[in-house]
Structure 1
Amino acid sequence: MSKTLILGASGGIGSALAAACAAKGEEVLHLSRSVDGFDITDEASVARHLGALEGPFRRVVVATGALEIDGAEPEKTIKAIEAKAMMDQFALNAVGPALVLSHAHDLLPREGRSVFAVLSARVGSIGDNKIGGWISYRSAKAAVNQVVHTASIELKRTHKEAVCVALHPGTVATAFTEKYLGRHPAVQPEEAARNLLAVMDGLSVCQTGQFFDWAGKEVPW
């Protein structure tokens, strides 16, 4: 039975992904802060939790993240930047996934196809940004895209069939987006999970290191 690891599995998308993978017959292991004390922003916590796992995993998904941290809403303008709010965004949305990716070589099999996916966001695309705003969140997601791309280059030197990508799940109706749903059409977490799994399962090794949306379309950096 293929083994899958979902990080951030207590969130809307993470829990839906865990359920969808289990429905496909995959053996699913999951970690979250609220249930397991897994703190992706803490290097020691990441090392301890990931080091205790028995792999390898054919699928690893980092589904952690937040649009608001400690009540700090996305900035409407660069004039609203606050250092702590920006650092918090980077810690959770960029540094955290990087810490997990530092363990990717041990989590994934060296032989055979595997997928390591990090949930990013289209607003992290520099090329797609036409309206400004949301500086901290955008910047953190742009940073994690670079982390994923760089890690994929290093990973393929030893894991020839590993696919390491950033994925945009679309706007999903969760607590994460509740205050912003009026601006964009949203799908339920279960549909988002099905879409993301279809993309992951359809990727080839030559697409490693890239950024895709929920429909499998490449997103510009």
Structure 2
Amino acid sequence: MRIGVVTFPGSLDDGDARRAVTLAGGEPVALWHGDHDLAGVDAVILPGGFSYGDYLRAGAIARFAPVMEQVIDAAMGGMPVLGICNGFQILCESHLLPGALIRNDHRTFVCRDQVLRVENTDTAWTRDFSAGQEITIPLKNGEGGYVASPDTIRELEESGRVVFRYVGVNPNGSLNDIAGVTNERGNVVGLMPHPEHAVEDLCGPGTDGLGLFTSVLERVLA
């Protein structure tokens, strides 16, 4: 299975995402922000970093990159798409996911190992987890506070579209401790923490993040 990882100017974690794909048993495919096709991939990952320097606001310029036209069309057609940190911001700017990510409520950058609770295991990216399972993966952001209108938050909660929730401490002021959400179809997921930094015991807090990448392999191959 071929999983594309998009590199934007300012991406930092694209190499880590490609390695996570390899460790999960997939074939990573490097995609460039200026590409006009997705090279026949089966899924797409938008990695973390500071695309286009986070000018205007995080993800605002990347949303208009040529490759995003293809990503948006593919996502609307059902292709699995994962946005990690800056990728989550890009998905919200692209309106593939609701809400927005704003500056952390304490106005400082946060970098820590973060406990999350898996709330939804019916998405393309969470099938290998158990509902209620707690996992620990790294978190690093300055604009990670998830916000949305009261109606949107209520709809996300009532429809089970909150995928991950912060446990123990809310590191950035996200409403309802929301760390990740999905679209109605369950093929598009965005989260602020970095599962690609928790895929092998040598580096990071363990391998809790690997389940996102193995989940999508099973989803496409099923």
- For Structure 1 versus Structure 2, the TM-score category normalised by the shorter chain is 0.3 to 0.5
Q: Which has the higher strand share?
A: 2
TM-score normalised to structure 1 length = 0.42
